[in-house]
Amino acid sequence: NRYISFLRTKVVNEKNKRISDSYKTGSWSALNSFFQFLVPEYIQNNPVAHTNRPKMKDNPDVTYLTEEEIALVLNNVRKKANVRMVNRDLCILKIGFAVGLRVSEIVQIDIDDIDFKNNKIKITGKGDRSYYVFIGDRLKQQILLWLEDKQKYFSHIESNALFVSQEGNRISPRSIKDLL
């Protein structure tokens, strides 16, 4: 408890600066995991297990892209992407921008997960938790454009994955990060 209290501030340029709650919580979790690893081989009990995890009170600053920045990214894709992949890349980015999905959630989307009638997509999130996100008509049209291109250029591929690589495999999170 004293150590976590000690983490409240740090000295930067000879001034005390407040440490974020998420840093303290992460430090507590790391200590708890380390001591749990030591039990029972090296110590008898975990001293951190008898303490309370620090509360998360602060919200880290989040930076959002402006509409102009999003337009620049999408225009860049239109100009530079391979003709076979331009609609796929636009679809990936628009789903990310419009719905705010994690990359790992985007790569797991299957064609069967899309309900075009009700404009929604079933998403599998962390811990295999499933939920639905709603999409607008413009995003729906972008998905349909990609599905047309997928059929046109990748009809020989038997994959239910919404997004495939140029080799025809389900796209990887690394490929999306490279795209960005």
- DSSP assigned state of 28: H
Look at residue 63 in the predicted model and tell me its pLDDT: 77
Nearest CA-CA partner of 133 in 148, 142, 143, 123: 123
Look at residue 17 in the predicted model and tell me its pLDDT: 84
Q: Within the chain, which residues score under 50 in pLDDT? A: none
Pairwise CA distance, residues 165 & 31, whole Å: 41
Q: What φ, ψ does residue 124 adopt, rounded to 5°?
A: -105, 115
Look at residue 138 in the predicted model and tell me its pLDDT: 94
Nearest CA-CA partner of 159 in 117, 86, 103, 107: 107
Look at residue 125 in the predicted model and tell me its pLDDT: 85
Residue 2's SS3 state is helix
Residue 88: burial class (beta carbons within 10 Å; 0-12, 13-18, 19+) = buried
